[in-house]
Each structure stands twice: as structure tokens, then as C-alpha cells.
A and B are shown apart, each in its own frame.
Chain A
Amino acid sequence: MSRALVQLTVTRVREIFRQPEAIFWTFLFPVLMAVVLGVAFRGERPDPSAAVVVEGRGADRLEAALRGDAAVRVERMDAEAAGARLRAGRAAILLIPGDPVTFRYDPTRPESELARVRVNAALQRAAGRIDPIAVREERLNERGSRYIDFLVPGLLGMNLMGGGLWGIGWIIVEMRIRKLLKLQLTTPMRRRDFLLSHVLVRLVFIPLEVVPLLYLSYLLFDVRVAGSLGAVALASCLGAVSFAGLGTLIASRAKTTGAISGLINLCSLPMFVLSGVFFSTARFPEALQPWIRVLPLTALIDALRSVMGEGATIAAIGPQLILLVLWGVASFAVALRVFRWS
């Protein structure tokens, strides 16, 4: 490794550590996000449905029937207040006493639909319905199948993407604006060393982006890695390389910070939504699936999820890893060709 490459990498790492805001966004923000989302979707006990009984003749009976059901949290208020609650989304369903009893709810809201089923079952049972088929419930709450187990690999992937796109894209454009790129070009510095140093910086930061998040989610939520840590490390490194290439590519022509932040968002927002950070990609139509699967963030998150959740081996996530390398190499090659130095 040339002395210039070492110096470029070391000074860049120093610079990042001297920026408190960079430390926050890279290292603390994802951890905070995991904590908040992990707490919000603990998944230990399903949240009871918020039902409101509207005042009126027969309201007492309805309320009493629902009180006995742990799956429903019941409140009672007048029609106006109850309507406001429903519109604000703080009540899932309104029960208006009468014959028949009226359920008022929005069927497009999943929690309202769930509330309708629960409330209906509670009322019918309280009125003496006997279910003709006996069932026994086996409730799953295993490690590895909770939302937080799904979420952590997603956040890891998102973090690595953000680090690559912002950490490289933004910095290169800033150096271009400061005319530093131009000045460095008048020295014998090799262009390859300059671009490579950004990739090396990313590799230096991977442990800092991955380890605290993994460790904290283990401590707080008992999220474990079913497969090998080596596989997680490899997938993270290749993911970082892939996004380093992409970051360099989108920074290769941009001349203003406005342009680069637009490009970064253009690149990362679709992947946020499509690549399954927060929810499964299976929700998107079949026709979109092949396109979703070739996105680098999808490949990275799929690989991490397979290793962490199912204990997949490196060989099993081979296709995703190859895809990541291809993204990295291809975007780097294009970036080198079109890069604007001055």
C-alpha cells in the first residue's frame, strides 16, 4: 500500500472522528432506531384492540361483555368523543348499542379489522355462543421469528448503505466544491489511491457500524446470530464495498451539495422502501420481484437475514454476495470513467 493511500485513509478517518454529527448519524442513530422500533414492536404480547363503547341503552352490557376479554381494551364515552377517537386513529372500532349492535370501523386499517374479529368473538361468546369445533392454540414467540429479529438485519443493511452513499458521495462532492480535488490533481497523487482510500475508510468503519447495533440488540432484545459471525462480517464488507462503488458513482459528476443529496435520496429512498428494511419484500407485486431482488440493498439484507435468522452458510448466500460484488465493481468502473476531477 502506498504511503499516499495510507495518509489519505488515515486523515479521512481522523476527520470523521472529529465530527460529532457524523458519529451520531453513523453509529448512534441506527442503534436508537433499533431500540425505539424494538420497543414499539416487542411482539411479546399482542397489543389489545382499542374498542370504544358509545353511551346509550345497552352500553353497560356491551362493556361488561368486553371487559372479560384480555384481547380488547374497552372504554366508554359519548358519541362525539368516540367519533373523534376513531378519526384520530386512537380507537380501532366503535360499538354503538342497539339491536343489531353496530360496529363502526375502517376495514382498510388492519388493526380495525382485527378489532372487529376480536370484539365480535367476545360479544358472541358472552352471549352464549358455543364454538362447534374445539381448538388448542400453540402460541409461537420464539427468538428469531419476532419483528425485532426481522428488523435488525434490515437496519444493518440500511446503515451500511447510508454510510457508503453519504460517507463517500457527500464527501467527494464537498472536496470538489472546496477545489481540493483539483489541487490534489496537480500533485503526483494517483487517482486510484484517492478513490481507493474512500473504500478503505468504509472498511475501517464497518465494525463500528455493525458491532454496536448487533451487541445492543443482543443485550436488549436477545437478538442472536444463528449462523457464523464470519458470514455476517463478510456480507457486511461486501455490502460496504458495493455501496462505496455506488457512492463514488453518484458523486462522479455532481458539483453541488444539493445535487448530491438529491442523487443520494433518489438512490436510497426506493431501496428503503423496496428492499425490505422494515417489512417483507413479499408485499410487493410479483411483477416487481425480479427488480427488487437485483437491488444491492435487497441482496445485502437478504444475506444478513438468512445468516442471522436461519443460520445460512457463506455458500448459501453466495448469489447475494456475488451480486454485491458485481454492483461494487461495475459502479466503480463506470465512476472511474466519468469522474469529474476539477
Chain B
Amino acid sequence: MHSSVSVSVEGLVRRYGKVTAVDGLDLEVREGECFGLLGPNGAGKTTTIEVIVGLLSPSSGEVRVLGRRWGEDDAGLRSRIGVALQETRFADRLTVREVVGLFRSFYPAGRDPLDVVREVGLEEKGAAWTSKLSGGQRQRLALACALVGDPELLVLDEPTTGLDPQARLRMGETIRSYRDRGRTVLLTTHYMDEAQRQCDRVAVIDRGKVIALGSPAELVRSLGGDLVVELALSEGEVSESEFRDVAGVRGIRRSNGAFHITAGESHVTVPALLERLRSLGAAPAQMTIRHATLEDVYVSLTGRNLRDE
């Protein structure tokens, strides 16, 4: 195995009774990158994370973290990893500084809790009980607890779920500055835009399997074109197949009554589409052109919308 791989997962299967949450999952997180597991709720992201951080044992498959297997020297391995899980509620009546200090005491080496509290932007709340924190502040506290052991690998399960856009941006900055120091980040999210902004590479997960892997730009390129024409009709009934042979069209799907047409060049495809509509006797109600996103990748791979889940 190459030394620059932080996490490698091969053929991971995890069952809960009869339910298979993770079904033969492979991925590799390289040292120094921010890697995102992207997928809807229930895709198996959290289970994968819990196996990687050694909370769950795999039903089968091979997991290596920082070059080690779980069960060899767990305490040593844990001291090199910082973890923030979903929905952790810290003790209500401890202050931010006390909680971070407590987590610092678990690690043989680490950073000054005050520095970490400052880094995540909670210095003003340092003496406040955790029960007085907003949702975003709580997530940042969880991040501080994950950072205080000065880990080589940071594992974050849904770090921005439920946060307002400003808090998400702020969280993103802290995570990026950690990665910029050459450390590795593995995070899960179901926000496509965030994965696109935040991650060097993403694995799109669906039903316990990786269905696409690469940098956000690569994944979008795999659609064949990086533009999407969204087209809603005001009159006339047209089937998808009528657009397939229009010049420049690389893919087409229908969602909420609108066509999402992937194309390479708008100046070729848009006039051709309008021409086709006219010849079919249909009129467009609305037509928008936007850049393709990871969401389009997900939908084109699964035929489902992320938010439907």
C-alpha cells in the first residue's frame, strides 16, 4: 500500500441483522486531501464512517486507517484521529472551554484548548454553558473537540447539517485551513454544493456502494457536458426521446415536469432545441441555462433526486 494513503476501504460490507447498510464499498482517501462521501440519508455514509473510526466492526472487507488496522493498537491510532459525529449533545452545564479541555485530556499530545476554541471562532462563547449555544456553535464545538488532539486525520460526519448558510461557510473555512496545513479530512455531506466547494475528491454513495468517484470537476465532466438546460413547456406534450438527436445534447431527464438537458455548448444546443419545439408545435414556458452540478451527476447515475430521499 502506498504511504500517501490515509484511509483505504476495500469491499466493505456491514449488515445490521437482515439490512445491508454498506454493500461492498471501496474507497481511498489520500493524504492531504479533503475527501467527501456524498449521498442521500440512508445511503450508508454514517455506517462507513463508524467503521472507519473503529466504532463498528465490518461484516466483511478490509479497512486501513493511517496504515493500520483496528485491533492492532487502537489507543495509538485513536490519538492520531479527530472525530466529530452527528448529533452529539455535550453536557449542558459545562462551558465550551471545559468541554474542549476534557477532550484534550484524553489525548497524550495535542493543542492548547484555548487556541482551538479561538480557531473555530468560539472564543466569545468560551465561558458559556453548552446549553446556551446555537446549532452552529455546537457543531463548531464538536469540531474543536475533534481538533484538540492535533490529529493527522479529521473525520466529520455531516458537519454542516442543519446550519444556516453563513455558519456553513464558516465551518468550511476552518476545515479548509486545517487541510491547508497538509492534513487529511474525510467528511460526509448530503449538500452537493458544499461537496463541490469543499472537497478535492468525492465519492458518490448510493445504497451502500460507491457509484462515482473523482474530483467534483471530473464527475461533472463525466456527464458529457457541463451545461444543463432546464426547459418547461407551456403547451404541447413532448416525450424525452424527441430531444435525443438534437445537436449537442448529451443527456436528458425529466424532473418535476421539466426537462433537464445536458449539453456541451449552449449556442449550438439552445437554438436547435427551440427549432425542435417549434416543429413539434410546443412552446417553452421557461428555459434556463446553468452549470452542471454534482446533483446532476447523482441524478443521472441513480435516476432519483437527492432530496426525494
Contacts and interface: CB of A to CB of B under 8 A. Distances in A.
Q: Do A and B come from one complex?
A: yes
B287 interface: no
Contacts of A188: 75-76, 78-79, 106-108, 149
Interface stretch (B83-91, B114-122, B173-181): B83-91
A190 B75 contact: yes
B53 interface: yes
B54 interface: yes
B123 interface: no
B1 interface: no
Nearest to B104: A7
B145 interface: yes
B43 to A, nearest CB: 20
A240 to B, nearest CB: 22
Contacts of B191: none
By secondary structure, the A interface counts as helix
B222 interface: no
Interface in B129-147: 129, 142, 145
Interface in A128-187: 175, 178-180, 182-187
A7 B99 CA distance: 10
A185 B76 CA distance: 13
Interface residues of B, number: 34
A14 B93 CA distance: 8
A189 interface: yes
Interface string A8-51: 10010011001100000000000000000000000000000000
B94 interface: yes
B81 to A, nearest CB: 7
A188 B53 CA distance: 12
Interface of B: 50, 53-56, 75-76, 78-79, 81, 83-91, 93-94, 98-99, 101-103, 105-108, 129, 142, 145, 149
Given A178-B90, A179-B86, A188-B75, 19 more contacts: A4-B106, A15-B94, A18-B129, A19-B93, A178-B89, A179-B85, A180-B89, A180-B91, A186-B55, A186-B85, A187-B79, A188-B78, A188-B79, A188-B107, A189-B106, A190-B75, A342-B50, A342-B55, A342-B56
Interface of A: 3-4, 6-8, 11, 14-15, 18-19, 175, 178-180, 182-190, 342
28 contacts: A6-B105, A7-B105, A8-B102, A8-B105, A11-B94, A11-B98, A14-B94, A15-B93, A18-B93, A18-B129, A19-B93, A178-B90, A178-B91, A179-B85, A179-B86, A179-B89, A180-B89, A180-B91, A182-B55, A183-B83, A186-B53, A186-B55, A186-B85, A187-B83, A187-B103, A187-B106, A187-B107, A188-B149
